[in-house]
Amino acid sequence: MITIAENEEWKDFEIAYVTPEKYAVSNFGRIAKYVEFLEDGELQKCFTARSGYRNYHYRGFDGVRVLAKHVIVHELVAQSFLPTPTEKQTYIVHINGKISNNHFENLKWATKEEFEKAKLTYLPKK
């Protein structure tokens, strides 16, 4: 059962496999899996990659074998809730520098130069 927060919107997204379940992402950066009604679905657990970005991992059957895949949460949120980027805006930055905050108001499309500048402030050093 999913409790939808005030002002939270959800949009379905496609995964790499055909499944009876549907998947949705919220403008707050949450991911859910459901069959018929979103409210009856389950929130999905996301993991933090070594890069610091939140990922959602899932498994699916491609007709031959079971495969593991992942999607990057902030990319799903940006693609679903931000205005269409310009041709040069192929990157996403977290406005407040907190890459764990995938709320749509904390994300913006950016050029490579803008991303390179922003990542200096918040991505882990290698």
Q: Cα-flanking dihedrals φ and ψ of residue 24, to 5°?
A: -140, 150
Give me the pLDDT at residue 104, please. Answer: 99
Global pTM value: 0.90
Read out DSSP for 41-87?
SEEPP-EE-TTS-EEEEEEEE-SSSEEEEEEEHHHHHHHHHSPPPPT
Give me the pLDDT at residue 43, please. Answer: 98
Give me the pLDDT at residue 12, please. Answer: 97
**CATH 3.90.75.20 applies to domain 10-122:** yes
* pLDDT values of the chain reduced to their tens digit, one per residue, 126 residues: 899 999 999 999 998 887 889 999 999 999 999 999 999 999 999 999 998 899 999 888 777 888 889 999 999 999 999 999 999 999 999 999 999 999 999 999 999 999 999 988 876 665
Give me the pLDDT at residue 122, please. Answer: 75
| CA count, 13 A, side-chain hemisphere, 88 | 5
| Residues 60-75 as b or e (16 or more Cβ within 10 Å = b) | eeeeeeeeeeebbbbe
Cα–Cα nearest to 98, from 72, 64, 74: 74
Give me the pLDDT at residue 20, please. Answer: 84
